[in-house]
A and B are shown apart, each in its own frame.
Chain A
Amino acid sequence: AVVSTQSTGNKIHLDVHTVRNTEDTRYPGTYTGYDDSWDFAKFRNNFKIRIIRREEREIEFDMIGIDTPIANAFRRILLAEVPTMAIEEVFLQNNTSVIQDEVLCHRLGLLPIMVDPRLFDMKGKGDKAEERNTLQFKLKMRCKRNKKAPTDTTNADELYCNSKLYTRNVEWEPLGSQKEWLKGGVKFSHDDILINVLRPGQELDMTMHAVKGIGSDHAKFSPVATATYRLLPEIQLLREFRGAAAEKLRSCFSPGVIEIEEGRAVVKDARLDSGSREVL
């Protein structure tokens, strides 16, 4: 038998009304005879990251063998301290739309910009806006009546020209030598975000400056829509379930957690469980 020098970790236990064992007790000295002190070699041997799912804007991965304070620190840093570029100052020449200036500018700040923030420096209070710390965008649109529209239509897109302003209407104006080191241009991450709606005679003329910032300053700078972590559930069936009981067991969990194989209920994928404890 192999005797481990580390005590086995306690598992958080979900009961009907309580949650037990939430404290991590695996500190040196808690369990006599075990050496629980921090050992980087042991961590390195046990630690593994496994990517479960990866899409264009979403990733789900497992971190095995890491402690919650560190995992939580990564989550907090993702939300609050990873920098991005976002519009901070808007110079409005003309805004005769129904959206108020400040509401419009607030919306502009929230637009995600597709650019690598590492290419830029943070702009301090007294710094001038220049190519290394600012991105400049311009939007100038005037809504006109569409003379060629069919006479019986009520669709705004047909009746008017430029009535809806999207992120694709915004132009990037390179400052200094930005054209050379920002190859491919700078766009917003989505082409079809609706910024404003105009009617004939209304105009929007503005210049926007985007700077580098972090989420703890303003949530618009947070690079993630959200970052969450949870502990991987473990479900143990204490006895065999067959027939109607197995069906009932399956319906108590989220779909996909329990499957019926050869008449018996088996735990197929505990990851999909939402922790509802309905089965209890």
Chain B
Amino acid sequence: AVVSTQSTGDHVGKLSIVENEDQDDTCTTLVLHKEDHTLGNVLRHMLVNNPEVEFAGYSIPHPSEEKINLRIQTYETPCLSVMYRALDDTMEVCDHVLDEIDRAEEEWKRAQK
């Protein structure tokens, strides 16, 4: 992931981190570009179900701009590692749903016979 704190003209990386004066690893606001509720709500849900996370929320600053602000506050763990974990968990769920769809399809075909 490209991590930068500034947008450079037209091309923006996927992920930016809002400037944090306190240099505290446990509180960050991430800006995800070209994303909306589809990913935002899922990530928020996975983050909130992590007991290491004190607070997680997302918002869309303006509906005309395709950006989401994701705020993460943890008790002790660095925010980015918690973010990676949320992303990995989401991928795990999606892979499993894909397997389950195939299995349900097989079951349906068998039941039709």
Contact with B along A35-47 (1 / 0, CB 8 A): 1111010011001
- Assess whether B41 is in contact with A72, with CB atoms less than 8 Å apart: yes
Interface residues of B in 93-111 (CB under 8 A from A): 93, 96-97, 100-101, 103-105, 107-108
- Assess whether B51 is in contact with A66, with CB atoms less than 8 Å apart: no
Chain B neighbourhood of A69, CB < 8 A: 41-42, 44-45
Q: Which of B92, B103, B105 contacts A40 (CB 8 A)?
A: B92
Interface residues of B in 49-73 (CB under 8 A from A): 49-51
Q: Is A20 an interface residue (CB 8 A)?
A: no
- Assess whether B96 is in contact with A28, with CB atoms less than 8 Å apart: no
- Assess whether B38 is in contact with A47, with CB atoms less than 8 Å apart: no
- Assess whether B89 is in contact with A73, with CB atoms less than 8 Å apart: no
Chain B neighbourhood of A73, CB < 8 A: 38-39, 41-42
Chain B neighbourhood of A54, CB < 8 A: 108
Chain A neighbourhood of B107, CB < 8 A: 51
- Assess whether B48 is in contact with A48, with CB atoms less than 8 Å apart: no
Q: Is B87 an interface residue (CB 8 A)?
A: no
- Assess whether A38 is in contact with B46, with CB atoms less than 8 Å apart: yes
- Assess whether B104 is in contact with A70, with CB atoms less than 8 Å apart: no
Contact with A along B3-14 (1 / 0, CB 8 A): 000000000000
- Assess whether B101 is in contact with A27, with CB atoms less than 8 Å apart: no
| Distance (whole angstroms) from the CB of B55 to the closest CB of chain A | 11
Task: Give Cα distance in the complex from A73 to B44, angstroms.
Answer: 12
Tally chain B residues at the interface, Cβ within 8 Å: 26
For A50, A61, A73, which residue has the most chain B Cβ atoms within 10 angstroms? A73
- Assess whether A47 is in contact with B104, with CB atoms less than 8 Å apart: no
- Assess whether B49 is in contact with A36, with CB atoms less than 8 Å apart: yes
Contact with B along A51-78 (1 / 0, CB 8 A): 1001000000101001101101110110
Given contacts A43-B93, A54-B108, contact A27 B42 (CB under 8 A): no
Chain B neighbourhood of A63, CB < 8 A: 97
- Assess whether B51 is in contact with A70, with CB atoms less than 8 Å apart: no
Q: Is A185 an interface residue (CB 8 A)?
A: no
Q: Is A275 an interface residue (CB 8 A)?
A: no
- Assess whether A37 is in contact with B108, with CB atoms less than 8 Å apart: no
Q: Which of A38, A44, A48, A51 contacts B105 (CB 8 A)?
A: A51
Chain B neighbourhood of A263, CB < 8 A: none
- Assess whether B45 is in contact with A49, with CB atoms less than 8 Å apart: no
Task: Give Cα distance in the complex from A29 to B39, angstroms.
Answer: 24
- Assess whether A49 is in contact with B38, with CB atoms less than 8 Å apart: no
For A70, A74, A81, which residue has the most chain B Cβ atoms within 10 angstroms? A70
Task: Give Cα distance in the complex from A63 to B44, angstroms.
Answer: 21
Given contacts A29-B51, A73-B38, contact A51 B89 (CB under 8 A): no
B102: nearest residue on chain A (CB-CB)?
A: A49
Task: Give Cα distance in the complex from A66 to B104, angstroms.
Answer: 15
Chain B neighbourhood of A61, CB < 8 A: 104
A38: nearest residue on chain B (CB-CB)?
A: B49
Given contacts A47-B96, A51-B105, A51-B108, contact A37 B51 (CB under 8 A): yes
Q: Which 7 A-B pairs have the closest CB atoms?
A: A38-B49, A69-B45, A49-B104, A28-B51, A69-B41, A51-B108, A76-B38
Can you report 7 A-B residue pairs in the complex whose CB atoms are below 8 A from each other? A38-B49, A47-B100, A49-B100, A49-B103, A72-B37, A73-B42, A77-B38
Contacts beyond the supplied A27-B49, A51-B105, A61-B104: 14 A-B pairs with Cβ under 8 Å: A36-B49, A37-B51, A38-B89, A40-B89, A48-B100, A49-B100, A67-B45, A69-B44, A69-B45, A70-B42, A70-B45, A73-B41, A80-B38, A81-B38
